[in-house]
Chains A and B, each alone.
Chain A
Amino acid sequence: SQKIEQNSEALNIQEGKTATLTCNYTNYSPAYLQWYRQDPGRGPVFLLLIRENEKEKRKERLKVTFDTTLKQSLFHITASQPADSATYLCAPLYSSASKIIFGSGTRLSIRP
């Protein structure tokens, strides 16, 4: 069965540095890969979507890459701020399916 793996341990980054989070998947390559942010006690919020034919996508300080050879997506936050502290979830979507399954998430802490 398909597996989605994210950094299992929390990531602690100094403010101003670039945070990089990893999402690895097994077996089939998804048609799309999404990234969400989740704050404690809240539902996830959609951030970015990248398609399998796109190598990179940017939105303000966020950048996502998608490497179908490595079966990996990287999520970067540049010039990180304490307000970026949250759990970040990746979610691959397969074109033939209607469901979105999430990775377990990586907790990111940005210290001042």
Chain B
Amino acid sequence: SQTIHQWPATLVQPVGSPLSLECTVEGTSNPNLYWYRQAAGRGLQLLFYSVGIGQISSEVPQNLSASRPQDRQFILSSKKLLLSDSGFYLCAWSVADEQYFGPGTRLTVT
């Protein structure tokens, strides 16, 4: 069966520091991969999606970037975090028009 891993589960980072969140998927090949952010009490905001290695589509211009170095690995990065980057970051993969989400990373920028 397919599983999706995200780490770390929680993260507290100072403003201006770099960020790297990793997501890996097991049990499937060539999945569509997604990064979402959810601010407290708000809906899901699609940040990036990828249909293949090295193929990244950005939905919202900001100081975040994404990379897909391997088929089942999706990385979210920032060179300098802002306070507004705080939130719940979710990685997801899709098959047959259904999305499956990872456990999420709670990021607090202080």
Residues of A with Cβ closer than 8 Å to B? 32, 34, 36, 41-46, 49, 89, 91, 93, 98-105
- Name, among A32, A49, A98, A104, the residue most crowded by chain B CB atoms within 10 Å (CB to CB): A98
| Chain B proximity of A93: nearest CB distance (Å) | 6
User: Which of A32, A34, A49, A104 is in CB contact (< 8 Å) with B42?
Assistant: A104
Query: Does chain A have a CB within 8 A of B21?
Result: no
Query: CB distance B98 to A103 under 8 Å?
Result: no
Q: Enumerate the 4 nearest inter-chain pairs by beta-carbon distance, A residue then B residue, closest first.
A: A43-B101, A104-B43, A102-B44, A46-B98
What is the size, in residues, of chain B's interface with A at 8 Å between Cβ atoms?
A: 24
Chain B residues with Cβ below 8 Å from A91 are: 99
The secondary structure that dominates the B interface is: strand
Query: Does chain A have a CB within 8 A of B63?
Result: no
A36 and B59 CA atoms in complex are apart in Å by 21
Task: Beyond A102-B46, A104-B43, list 17 extra A-B contacts (CB 8 Å).
Answer: A34-B97, A34-B98, A41-B106, A43-B102, A43-B104, A44-B90, A44-B101, A46-B100, A49-B98, A89-B44, A91-B99, A93-B97, A98-B49, A99-B34, A100-B34, A100-B94, A102-B43
Query: CB distance B104 to A44 under 8 Å?
Result: no
Query: CB distance B97 to A105 under 8 Å?
Result: no
User: Which of B42, B49, B100, B103 is in CB contact (< 8 Å) with A99?
Assistant: B49
